[in-house]
Amino acid sequence: MRYAIVYVSSASKDLKESEIKTILEHSVSWNNQLGLTGILLFSEGNFLQVLEGEERVTKELFEAIKKDPRHHNVIQIFGKEIHREAYDGYKADFISENADYDPKKFKSYLKQIEVLDDSTQKAVKNMLKAFILT
């Protein structure tokens, strides 16, 4: 059974931009190796991640993520079984205050969640909007 976890967290104050970029790059290769799909976004000192994969692998990774000292205030938005992945592979992105809002990128994020049930889609859309447009 496929399983999805969505969470937000705050980066540690001493985390440098170069370290954040390394985290984003590492998450893509690591999660693809684990057969996970989803997305990791960083903006304004906060992370938003959607993880989808085999239930045991997804839950074990989330437990490790919660213990990572590079962030704190880890808040799980939801964890639930899914019938189909919303994401095609695993992606990561750094959204800085200097970056222009990219409507194509935002639309691609929204397109990928269309396979989720309506209530989950609504929750993820609201989080993406708040996260990306702030």
Report CA torsion sign: 26, 60, 109, 97.
negative
Question: Where in the chain are the domains?
Answer: 2-133
Q: What is the pTM of this model?
A: 0.74
- The 10s digit of each residue's pLDDT in 19-46 is 988 988 888 889 889 999 888 888 888 8
- The 10 Å Cβ neighbour count of residue 92 is 21
CATH of domain 2-133: 3.30.70.100
- The 10s digit of each residue's pLDDT in 53-103 is 999 999 999 999 999 999 999 999 889 888 877 777 777 766 655 445 566
Closest CA to 87 of 40, 22, 134: 40
| Burial track 19-50 (b if 16+ CB lie within 10 A, e otherwise) | ebeebbeebeeebeebebbbbbbbbeebbbbb
What is the predicted pLDDT for the residue at 118?
75
- Asked if residue 128 has pLDDT above 80, the reply is no
Query: Taking the mean position of all CA atoms in its chain, how far away is CA 25?
Result: 13
19: enclosing H helix or E strand: helix 17-33
Quick one: pLDDT band at residue 117, thresholds 50, 70, 90?
A: low
